[in-house]
Amino acid sequence: MQILIEGEIYPIELLQKVFDDPKFYKQNGFDGMITSVGYYHSFEKNSLVFMLPKVFMKDGTETIFGCNKEVLIDLIKNQSIKHKTQYNWVRQLSVHFYNSLIEFKKRYNDTSIIHNTETFELNTNLGDKEYSFLDLLLSFVNYYKKNKQQILFKHIEFVSNQVKKPKWEKTIRKSLPILANGRTPIYVEITNKKKIINTEEELLTYFFSILNHLNKEHHLNLKIDKSFNLIEGQSFEKLCGNGISKLKKIKYRYFNDTLKKMYVLCELYFSQFDKSSIKKKREDFLAITNYNLVFEDMVDKLFSNKLNTVEIGGVTIDKLKNNDDGKIIDHIYDYKSLIDTSDIFYIGDSKYYKSNSSAGKTSKYKQFTYAKNIIQFNIDLLNKNRTYNATMRYRDTDLTEGYNITPNFFIYGFIDDIVNYDSHNITKKGKPIPSYHFKERLFDRDTLFVHQYKINFLFVLKAYTNFNDSEIENFRKEVKSTFRNNFLDFFNHSSKCGFEFYESTIKQEDYSGFINENFKRLNGKCFCTNDNRLLLAKHTEDTTVNDLIEKFIKIEQLV
């Protein structure tokens, strides 16, 4: 197995050795840049390649694995480190990464950004799925790990049943026994007159010869019992050429489900080398040129609800993600407002960068546009006397004409522990990003704040294919609460947000007169909550409302 990273430059000589054609890289002189992310296998060149996302890169040529990209290429082939536990991540990563591509393909069958060659279907009890060399390799390994005890038992049973009319005198004279419990002798090789041929042993020989070859070729570190007969070297190469014909001769001997599955795996493997087979192909691969879309979908599966299942007046709410101006929002979910008991939309954007990178100006402007589109969507519903739900409240229409605070966030993928797949490690990244027309007007539709977070990419990778609905829902509850609490902490410290919050002490029936009398000074600074509390957000630099503070009491903590 060889490991390359998207966007990185490698010698063209190396790329031509592992790829049959240049569709996965862009050549420039004697170098080539990897342009895809995914899996590739060449039957003719016997190369198995993973093109990992650029999130596995740090600055320069250093990877998150503690080595540079040149060392990483053949890391798994290096015999000196293949038994070291710190490199066990290679196989675990390979499985999760490959499964994530398969999952994305299943979720978006009509996408044109995925390259996929002609494939088989494993129409067996192993399950119906598309075939690739890696599918087959993983099937061999998984099958062996799940059934090795049963297979070994059958092999021992075969050895035992070979004996008929044993010659114990000759056996004792010519072989050494194994002492069980230090007392009981067990003879493994028994001299007898006639041997019974077990037809199952022939299939076991083929299976373990293939497994042994895969184990050595791809450094799987499998421990195969030495008592099995193995075909190796030139004899194995010859077996690959005539394996299909040999299997056909023993096809109808097996009725046990375990052996039938074993037979199918051997047949699929040998079919690669059968020149007469229509299944023979030069390469198989699953790759994508816009991996940011995969990362976006992985995060969205964790964060967002299935909005297309909810309707407003016959219109599905997935319109929220696909705006009329062509903008597509990555993540959106409704949750508790920051200032009252109503709901509000939290709007997020996935950032697919290298592990140490941050969003630029363009990304920030896009996020502000996304938020304004969502606000306008809800205002349009309000103007038509409709709402997203009974508790969602974006504008205080009747009194202050103020707008509720719309939380926004960026989410970056990062890796700092190559063996951690079980903790999301969501942490803050950088400072909140503000946007406003009038910085003293918090309850204005143009005043927005974007919080930034990073999430463990390996956790996302595993959760994308392994999490069930219950696990996803638990994750959402935790993260939604965390994001809201972080926004509250931000607004509860005037040194961070620049605002102090006050609640009016005047009677509710006097709200209207007070607002109308001071509307110009209070515009965008006041908001009446759904439980009829009149709030004032006073900017620390705003002196225009100082004389009105006497009608308010300070709120020490938003909750």
Rounded CA gap, 442 and 357, in Å?
A: 30
Domain interval for residue 57: 2-118+284-288
Residue 79 has pLDDT above 50, yes or no: no
Mean pLDDT of the chain: 83
Evaluate the CA torsion angle 190, 196, 199, 202 in order and state its sign: positive
Rounded CA gap, 218 and 315, in Å?
A: 52
Q: Is 478 helix (H, G, I), strand (E, B) or coil?
A: helix
Tell me, yes or no, whether 331 lies in a domain. Answer: yes
Check whether residue 352 and residue 455 sit in a common domain.
Answer: yes
Tell me, yes or no, whether 327 lies in a domain. Answer: yes
Last residue of a domain, one of 236, 262, 288: 288
Check whether residue 370 and residue 487 sit in a common domain.
Answer: yes
Check whether residue 355 and residue 408 sit in a common domain.
Answer: yes
Check whether residue 215 and residue 306 sit in a common domain.
Answer: no
- 176 and 188 in contact (C-beta within 8 Å)? no
Tokens read off for 418: 């190559």
Tell me, yes or no, whether 267 lies in a domain. Answer: yes
Check whether residue 262 and residue 328 sit in a common domain.
Answer: no
Number of domains, the chain = 3
Tell me, yes or no, whether 522 lies in a domain. Answer: no
Q: HEC string of 335-349?
A: EECCCCCCEEEEEEE
Check whether residue 59 and residue 96 sit in a common domain.
Answer: yes
- 63 and 44 in contact (C-beta within 8 Å)? no
416-460 tens-digit pLDDT: 888 899 999 999 999 999 999 999 999 999 999 999 999 999 999
Tell me, yes or no, whether 395 lies in a domain. Answer: yes
Check whether residue 303 and residue 204 sit in a common domain.
Answer: no
Check whether residue 236 and residue 317 sit in a common domain.
Answer: no
pTM of the entire structure? 0.79
Last residue of a domain, one of 254, 288, 322: 288
284-306 tens-digit pLDDT: 888 888 898 899 999 999 998 66
Strands 427-428 and 499-504: unpaired
Last residue of a domain, one of 242, 271, 288: 288
36-58 tens-digit pLDDT: 998 888 877 878 899 999 999 98
Residue 150 has pLDDT above 80, yes or no: no
Residue 308 has pLDDT above 60, yes or no: no
Least confident piece of the model among 82-86, 134-138, 296-300, 465-469: 82-86
Tell me, yes or no, whether 335 lies in a domain. Answer: yes
Check whether residue 446 and residue 412 sit in a common domain.
Answer: yes
Tell me, yes or no, whether 297 lies in a domain. Answer: yes
Check whether residue 61 and residue 110 sit in a common domain.
Answer: yes
Tell me, yes or no, whether 513 lies in a domain. Answer: no
Distance of CA 139 to the CA centre of its chain: 21
Check whether residue 357 and residue 413 sit in a common domain.
Answer: yes
Check whether residue 270 and residue 311 sit in a common domain.
Answer: no
The confidence score (pLDDT) of residue 497 equals 96
The confidence score (pLDDT) of residue 437 equals 93
